Amino acid sequence: MIKKKLKIKNKLGLHARASNKLSELANNFNSQTFITFNDERVDAKSMMDILLLSIAQNDEFQIEISGDDENDSFKAINNLIDNLFDEGE
């Protein structure tokens, strides 16, 4: 299992479209994926759950990924966050 802290860098944080991209990506992998923020742990495959965490720019959250493709999944999610969800800022 991978358990890491990640920081949101894009300006708007995890708003609807970014939450959507993140959950779609998590859904592309078999691994179970959970996000913990402010003591709340949610399934990263649910767009609404991610959105409801209300994560803003520079917030840090914990991600847990477990399954046969956990390494690939983590890499992809990390990339998405690094690329600012393709929002350019």
Partner 1 sequence: MFTISGISVSPGIAIGKAVILSHTLNEVEAKNISFSQIKSEISKFNNALIKAENELLKIKKDLLISQMGSFTSFIDIHLSILRDEKISKNTIDIIHSNLCSAEWALKLQADEIIRKFEKISNPYIQERKHDVMQVCENIAKYIVGSNQKISHKKNNSILVAHDISPADALKFKSTNFISFVTDMGGPTSHTAILARSINIPSIVGIQNAKKLIKNDDVLIVDGDSSTIIINPNSNVLHDYYLRKNHWDTEQKKLLTLAKIKSKTLDKKNIQLLANIEDEADIKSIFSKNADGVGLFRTEFIFMSKGKMLSENEQFVIYKRLASNLKNKELIIRTLDSGADKVINNPNTESQNPALGLRAIRLCLAEPDIFITQIKAILRASIFGRVKILIPMLSSINELNQAKWLIKRAKNLLDAEDKKYDKNILIGGMIEIPAAAIHIDTFAKQLDFLSIGTNDLIQYTLAVDRTDDSVSHLYNSIHPAILKLIHNTINAGKKFNIPVSLCGEMAGEERYTKLLLGMGLHIFSMHPASILRVKKKIIETNCKKNTQIINKILKSDQQSEIETLVSKLNQF
Residues noted as catalytic = 15
Q: Is residue 31 at the binding interface for partner 1, with CB under 8 A as the rule?
A: no
Q: How far apart are CA 79 and CA 82, in angstroms?
A: 5
With DSSP H G I counted as helix, E B as strand and the rest as coil, what are the percentages for the chain, rounded to 5? 40, 25, 35
Q: Is residue 89 at the binding interface for partner 1, with CB under 8 A as the rule?
A: yes
Q: Is residue 68 at the binding interface for partner 1, with CB under 8 A as the rule?
A: no
Q: Write out the residues near partner 1 by the rule CB under 8 A.
A: 11-12, 15-17, 20, 23-24, 43, 45-49, 51-52, 54, 56, 87-89
